[in-house]
Structures are given as structure tokens and as C-alpha cells.
């Protein structure tokens, strides 16, 4: 029956092996002292000595003594080494010699005075590893002379060296010589403290295993744990496998035999403990753990059962919150399979989300929709980056609402409350299940990158304002999102708006035809809707009249003429920036065009647009005429003319207009012709009764609506 002799604490230990000492004993060579054989890489204690035998004091003779103690035999798999304790001497003068093999070199001082004889082992093998145990297989046979003798296995490693002068027998003339023994086992192990030690000497580890005094007919596994005294790296190691009680020569029994095979160092590479935040989680044999806490490296401690093993921890996948612990045996550099891996599932970190609430106004192709209360999330991601999310984004409202999805900008830099970024994104389906699969038809797919631009600010009041430009289909469907407080202007009130980024609900009705407009912010002309067919700015004044030119963008606080093909009675919505609310006067020659933000302004002495007999005219205001806010008026220095032409450009032809001449309030007569030159009115007091169309009125094209 197979038996295992080891320490109880290591009975269930697992190991990975490194063949570093040639302990398979499959190959043999001639003994180092020319007697018998020994395993390759080892030296055996075969005897080859010349002993001086004294018959009388000062008179004797030399006697040669050779004896084989080490043999090669069939082993567990191939060959093994056999060690036989044997009597060595001349006639009946001598003693029993220990049979052992060693990584070092045996030495001996032989004399017929047995009490003065000495011997042992010096040195070992250069070695820089830290094995945890020595494992091998033994068989044992005990003779009748001393059947209680124990065998012994010694393992020790060290750095530096020891030196001791001793008498050593010399083969040949039998005369002992004094030699320096380097790294003698008793000196290294501290059994004898008479040796000189180098300053850097250190005994790093040792193990001593006594082989039980019993016969072992079957190969029996033995595991010898190695004890370490410090964390230094050894320079040398020695292993002695002895059939004898190695340090007690008086216990050696002639004929006691030991077979040894397949000896190798063991390097453990498993966890021995796992503790997190003071709680022990370790379970022997378990490689997967779950800890319901966020990972904090400072709270984790773990140890290995391998004295020289290394422990590597990697938490590279924060999204999965899995910690990988890799334990590598001390021999990993030559045996890369000696590794154990453990997975620890921690609670997954959650992003830190700060929600900002404000009014969100969406402008599609520069035409705004009513603002709605919305939330934007600023996200501190688990990888330390910052993202901004506008979830469940919708174009429009009510039955006309078109769900777009989630818009998320990643890897943002927040500095001094400012966030600016331009990046390609892919819009995802919204969090609401109703969004799934709803896209902007063929214009938008999850695969299509969209170059979104963000300009956001977090104010001292911890309130976010943001502008997000989203070209869903560049050149065809441009979306601008303004995330800011909504201010409402109602016609008839004085204009009083706070400066800064804002959403504006502009409640002013525009009649069909021409109006004046002045706003404290810049805006594209198309923001007024499709019915606003022309916006004209005052560009010059000359002998022919006041000249205007069509523009696409209105500048802040600057007055303009604006034409609506049909009356506009619904509010206009703007997402914009206000920096000033002071109207800007535009002066050309003697004429000035200026806006007004007063609730009511007297138009006495000022020129404005008015409708007379269904015809829009520039009329000098009387004592009771007034002007509401966000409109504009003209003034004239010097003599007030009887009439001045208004020349509008960009309305389908130079000079085409629906506004009559400037008048000073006196009677006006009209000569009216068709475009074909047919006179339809002469000296008429009004244009009432004319059918819709384009006419030549007093030499100027006029549109009658």
C-alpha cells in the first residue's frame, strides 16, 4: 500500500513542478572519486581512501579502502538510485559508512582511530529560486544490525560562504592534509559555529526530514516542506538524501538500504488567503469569488502558499468590475505553466449622474418649436471620463412629435464650468421602449455618424445652459437645441429681457405685407417661418430714395423691414444669445432708421409703415400715432420731403415694392399704369378698387395684394 510521509498541514496541497536538480535519477556516471557510479548532477558517498594503520606507536602501514555504496537500479518509471550503508575498514578495524547522495561534494578524514574520523559534505549547486518543498519517492529495507535507524533528507539554501580548516584524507599516501572546507553543511546550518562566515552570509532556508525506521516495500511518496528564515534570494542550495542517520554516525546500520526516485522541487502557486475590508473570503480550491462592494485596492489583501510566488492584481475592466488575481510560482520563468488565476466579482461601479433641468427649445432648420421642460445629464463615467446625455430626444410635440433617441457626447473636458466639444456620435434608441425602432425614416440610422457640436456652461448657481447643434441630415435637416431659461415677450409690452443664453417665446402678430422689426438678438430670417419671404436692411439714401437690400440674417438691435405673404398670428420661438438690449440706429444721408423697445412710442414727427385705403405706405406720424416695441421708424433731418421713394431689392426684381412713397401727410394723387403701359388711373386720390397685381404708380412698381 502506498504511504505518504509529510506534514499534516500539507497533505492536501497542490503543486506545480520544476525539474531543477536532476532528481529523476535516470542517468548515471562514474563516481566522482572513480569508485562505482552516481546519478548525473549528484555526488555519491562511494569510498576511495588510503588509511594509515598504526600497529605500534610510530609504526604502521597504509591500507587502501574502496567500497561502493551507491548503485543504479530499475525505478518507478526508468532508473532509480539505491543507497546501501556499508562497513568500511581494514580487517575488522573501521566503521559503518553512510550511503548518501548530495548536490555538494562529500569529504572524509579517515583514520584507524575511529573516534577521530570525520566527514560530511561541502558546497552545493548555484541556485536562485525559492522552492516550497521537495517531493520524491522512497523504498526502504532495514538489516538486522540496527533496524531502528532512520534515514534523512536535508535541504538548505544560503548566500555568502563559510570557511573552515580541517584535516582531509588524501588518496595515495594516506597522509592527511589540512584543507579549507568551503560551505560545510554543519557550518552553513549552524550546527558548528567555529567556521568563518563572509559578511553577506545568510542561511535562507532549510528542511530536515527523518525517514521512518520501517521497511517500505512499495514506492512511497514523501513531501518535505522547506522553512524560510527571510525573504532573500539564495545563491546556492544543497540536497542530501541519506540512507543513514546523517549526523549521528553511531546509529548507522550496516546493510540498511534506501531507494530514491523522481525527486523534484515543488513551487506552490495558489492563494492562501483573501481578505477585503477586514472580512475573510478565502475558500480553499475556489477560484471564483463575489464581493458585494465597490473595489478599493487599499482594502484588499491576499497571500500565496508559495513562499517565492508572485501575486499580480489587475482591475483593467471596470465596466465588468472583475478583479483578476494571478499567482505565479517562483519557477514561473522556467515553468510558465505554474500559474493559478482567480476572479473576484465586485459590485459594478455606477456612473455619477448629475441632472440639470431647464427649458429645451428645438429649432429645425432654424425654425423654433415651443420650449419644454427637459433634463440633461452630466455623467462622470466609471472610467473617469465625462459624458453628456440628452435622452429620449423628440422633435415637435403632440401628434406631430417625432422621437429621435438618445444623444450622448463622450470624453468631454469640463474646465471652469465650460464644456465644448465636437464629435461624431451615433444616436441610439431612447430609454423609453416606445422609442425602439423609431427613426427619422431613411435619413437617420444607428450606423450613421453625426458631427454634433456642444457649447455648454455650468453657472455659479449650478444651472446648466447649453447649445447643441445636431445636423441629422446636413444641408437638409439641421437641428439646434437650446437648453436655457425661457423668456416670453408679449406684444404691447416694453421689451425687457435678461442677457445671456435664452429661449424666447415672441408673441407678436405680423400682418400680411410689410412690417418693421427690431430684436435684441441675431437670428436667421427663416426663423420667422416660411411666410416671411423677405427681410430688407437700410443700405443707402440718394436722390432716387431710400434703398434697401435683402438679407438672410438679422443682426441684434438693428431695424429691418420684413414681408409676410400671409398674416402670422402664431408666436415665434428663438433659442439665442442676448448681449445688449439697446437699439442700433442706421443712418444713411439725412435719414435714420432705428428700432424701439418701449411699450408705446409717440410717432409724432417720425415716419412709419401704415395702411391707408388697403395700401401700405410710409407715413409721417401725427400727434396721436404710436409705435409698439420691437418695431422701427424713420426720421429725417432738415426739410421734410413731399415724397421719397422706397427702393427694395431682392423681391423678384429691382425696385419692386408693396410700400408706397413717403408722404408728409398732405394730399397725394396717383397716376397708375399696367405693366403694358395702359393707364388705369389718373390723378386719383387713392388706389382703392385696383385688382391684385403689379402696377406702375407714379413711375414706380407697386404690388397690390
pLDDT in tens, 388-417: 999 988 887 777 778 888 889 999 998 888
Backbone φ, ψ for residue 150 (5° rounding): -95, 145
Number of H helices, E strands in the chain: 1, 65
Q: What is the pLDDT of residues 187-219, one digit of tens each?
A: 999 999 999 999 999 999 999 999 999 999 999
pLDDT above 90 coverage of the chain, percent: 64
Residue 477 contacts residue 355 (beta carbons within 8 Å) = no
Q: In what order do the strands lie in the sheet with 693-697?
A: 679-684, 670-674, 693-697, 700-704
What are the residues facing 510 on neighbouring strands?
Answer: 568
> Model pTM?
0.61
Cell numbers placing 114: 575511529
Cell numbers placing 362: 428645438
Up-side HSE of residue 179: CA atoms within 13 Å toward CB? 15
Nearest 5°: the CA angle 241, 246, 248 is 165
| Domains defined for the chain, CATH in brackets | 4-9+23-266 (2.60.120), 271-346 (no CATH), 352-475 (no CATH), 487-665 (no CATH), 669-705 (no CATH)
pLDDT for the residue 174: 61
> What SS3 state is found at 9?
helix
Nearest 5°: the CA angle 80, 83, 89 is 150
Is the pLDDT at 444 greater than 70, yes or no?
Answer: no
Q: How confident is the model at residue 16 (pLDDT cuts 50, 70, 90)?
A: very low
What are the residues facing 663 on neighbouring strands?
Answer: 619, 643
634 compared with 615, residue with greater pLDDT: 634
Q: Write the DSSP symbol of residue 343.
A: E
> What SS3 state is found at 142?
coil
The CA distance from 518 to 424, in Å, is 37
The CA distance from 705 to 692, in Å, is 5
Q: Indicate the burial class of 463 (C-beta count within 10 angstroms; 0-12, 13-18, 19 or more).
A: middle
| Of 386, 368, 636, the residue nearest 503 (C-alpha) | 368
The CA distance from 40 to 59, in Å, is 42
Q: How confident is the model at residue 676 (pLDDT cuts 50, 70, 90)?
A: low
The CA distance from 98 to 45, in Å, is 7
Q: What is the pLDDT of residues 140-186, one digit of tens each?
A: 999 999 999 999 999 999 999 999 998 887 765 667 789 999 999 99
* Helix (H) or strand (E) run with residue 408 in it: strand 402-412
14 compared with 493, residue with greater pLDDT: 493
Cell numbers placing 485: 431659461
| Of 125, 131, 128, 136, the residue nearest 329 (C-alpha) | 131
| Of 535, 543, 513, 536, the residue nearest 645 (C-alpha) | 543
Is the pLDDT at 664 greater than 60, yes or no?
Answer: no
610 compared with 145, residue with greater pLDDT: 145
Average pLDDT for the chain: 87
The CA distance from 464 to 486, in Å, is 13
Helices in 181-250 by DSSP H: which ranges? 185-188
pLDDT for the residue 61: 57
Long-range contacts for 678-682 (Cβ within 8 Å, ≥24 apart)? none
What are the residues facing 644 on neighbouring strands?
Answer: 662
pLDDT for the residue 190: 96
pLDDT for the residue 653: 39
The CA distance from 587 to 325, in Å, is 79
| Of 364, 622, 581, the residue nearest 476 (C-alpha) | 364
Chain centroid to CA 408: 18
Q: How confident is the model at residue 128 (pLDDT cuts 50, 70, 90)?
A: very high
What is the distance between the terminal CA atoms of the chain, rounded to a whole angstrom?
Answer: 119
Amino acid at each position: 500500500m502506498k504511504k505518504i510521509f509529510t506534514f499534516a498541514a500539507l497533505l492536501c496541497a497542490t503543486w506545480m513542478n520544476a525539474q531543477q536538480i536532476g532528481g529523476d535519477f535516470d542517468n548515471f556516471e562514474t563516481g566522482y572519486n572513480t569508485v562505482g557510479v552516481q546519478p548525473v548532477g549528484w555526488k555519491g558517498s562511494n569510498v576511495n581512501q588510503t588509511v594509515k594503520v598504526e600497529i605500534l606507536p610510530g609504526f604502521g602501514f597504509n591500507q587502501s579502502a574502496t567500497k561502493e555504496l551507491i548503485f543504479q537500479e530499475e525505478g518507478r518509471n526508468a532508473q532509480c538510485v539505491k543507497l546501501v550503508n556499508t562497513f568500511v575498514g581494514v580487517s575488522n578495524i573501521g566503521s559503518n559508512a553512510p550511503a548518501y547522495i548530495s548536490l555538494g561534494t562529500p569529504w572524509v578524514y579517515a583514520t584507524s582511530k575511529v573516534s577521530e574520523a570525520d566527514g560530511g559534505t561541502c558546497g552545493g549547486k548555484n541556485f536562485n529560486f525559492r522552492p516550497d518543498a521537495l517531493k520524491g519517492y522512497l523504498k526502504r529495507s532495514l538489516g538486522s544490525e540496527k533496524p531502528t535507524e532512520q534515514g534523512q533528507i536535508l535541504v538548505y539554501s544560503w548566500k555568502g560562504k563559510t570557511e573552515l580548516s580541517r584535516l582531509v584524507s588524501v588518496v595515495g599516501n594516506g597522509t592527511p592534509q589540512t584543507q579549507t572546507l568551503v560551505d560545510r553543511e554543519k557550518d552553513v546550518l549552524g550546527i558548528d559555529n567555529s567556521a568563518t562566515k563572509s559578511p553577506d552570509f545568510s542561511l535562507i532556508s532549510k528542511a530536515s526530514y527523518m525517514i521512518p525506521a520501517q521497511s517500505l516495500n512499495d514506492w512511497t511518496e514523501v513531501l518535505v516542506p522547506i522553512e524560510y528564515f527571510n525573504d532573500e534570494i539564495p545563491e546556492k542550495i544543497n540536497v542530501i538524501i541519506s540512507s543513514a542517520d546523517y549526523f549521528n554516525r553511531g546509529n548507522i546500520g550496516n546493510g540498511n538500504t534506501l531507494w530514491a526516485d523522481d525527486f523534484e522541487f515543488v513551487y506552490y502557486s495558489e492563494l492562501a488567503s483573501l481578505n477585503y475590508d477586514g472580512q475573510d473570503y478565502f475558500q480553499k480550491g475556489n477560484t471564483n469569488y463575489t464581493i458585494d462592494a465597490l473595489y478599493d485596492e487599499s482594502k484588499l489583501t491576499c497571500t500565496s502558499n508559495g513562499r517565492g510566488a508572485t501575486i499580480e492584481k489587475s482591475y483593467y475592466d471596470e465596466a465588468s468590475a472583475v478583479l483578476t488575481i494571478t499567482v505565479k510560482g517562483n519557477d514561473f520563468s522556467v515553468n510558465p505553466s505554474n500559474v493559478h488565476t482567480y476572479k473576484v466579482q465586485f459590485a459594478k461601479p455606477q456612473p455619477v449622474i448629475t441632472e440639470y433641468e431647464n427649458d429645451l427649445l428645438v429649432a429645425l432648420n432654424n425654425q423654433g418649436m415651443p420650449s419644454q421642460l427637459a433634463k440633461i445629464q452630466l455623467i462622470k463615467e466609471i472610467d473617469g471620463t465625462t459624458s453628456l446625455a440628452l435622452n429620449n430626444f423628440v422633435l415637435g410635440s403632440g401628434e406631430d412629435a417625432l422621437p429621435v433617441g438618445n444623444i450622448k457626447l463622450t470624453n468631454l473636458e469640463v474646465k471652469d464650468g465650460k464644456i465644448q466639444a465636437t464629435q461624431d456620435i451615433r444616436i441610439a434608441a431612447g430609454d423609453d421602449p416606445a422609442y425602439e425602432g423609431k427613426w427619422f425614416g431613411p435619413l437617420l440610422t444607428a450606423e450613421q455618424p453625426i458631427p454634433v457640436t456642444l457649447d455648454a456652461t455650468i453657472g455659479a448657481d449650478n444651472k446648466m445652459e447649453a447649445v447643441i447643434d445636431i445636423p441629422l441630415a446636413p444641408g437638409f435637416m439641421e437641428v439646434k437645441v437650446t437648453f436655457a431659461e425661457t423668456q416670453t415677450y408679449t406684444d404691447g409690452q416694453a421689451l425687457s429681457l435678461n442677457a445671456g443664453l435664452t429661449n424666447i417665446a415672441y408673441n407678436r402678430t405680423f400682418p400680411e405685407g410689410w412690417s418693421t422689426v427690431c430684436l435684441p438678438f441675431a437670428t436667421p430670417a427663416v426663423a420667422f417661418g416660411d411666410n416671411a419671404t423677405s427681410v430688407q436692411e437700410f443700405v443707402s439714401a440718394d436722390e432716387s430714395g431710400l434703398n434697401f437690400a435683402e438679407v438672410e440674417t438679422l443682426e441684434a438691435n438693428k431695424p429691418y423691414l420684413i414681408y409676410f405673404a400671409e398674416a402670422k398670428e402664431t408666436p415665434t420661438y428663438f433659442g439665442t444669445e442676448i448681449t445688449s438690449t439697446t437699439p442700433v440706429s442706421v443712418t444713411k444721408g439725412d435719414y435714420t432708421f432705428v428700432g424701439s423697445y418701449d411699450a408705446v412710442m409717440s410717432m409724432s414727427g417720425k415716419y412709419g409703415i401704415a395702411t391707408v385705403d388697403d395700401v401700405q405706405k410710409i407715413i409721417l406720424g401725427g400727434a396721436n400715432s404710436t409705435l409698439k416695441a420691437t418695431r422701427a421708424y424713420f426720421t429725417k433731418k432738415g426739410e421734410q420731403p413731399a415724397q421719397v421713394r422706397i427702393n427694395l431689392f431682392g423681391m423678384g426684381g429691382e425696385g419692386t415694392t408693396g410700400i408706397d412713397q413717403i408722404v408728409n401727410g398732405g394730399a397725394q394723387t396717383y397716376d397708375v399704369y399696367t405693366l403694358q403701359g395702359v393707364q388705369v388711373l389718373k390723378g386719383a386720390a387713392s388706389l382703392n378698387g385696383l385688382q391684385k397685381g403689379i402696377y406702375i404708380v407714379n413711375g414706380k412698381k407697386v404690388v397690390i395684394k
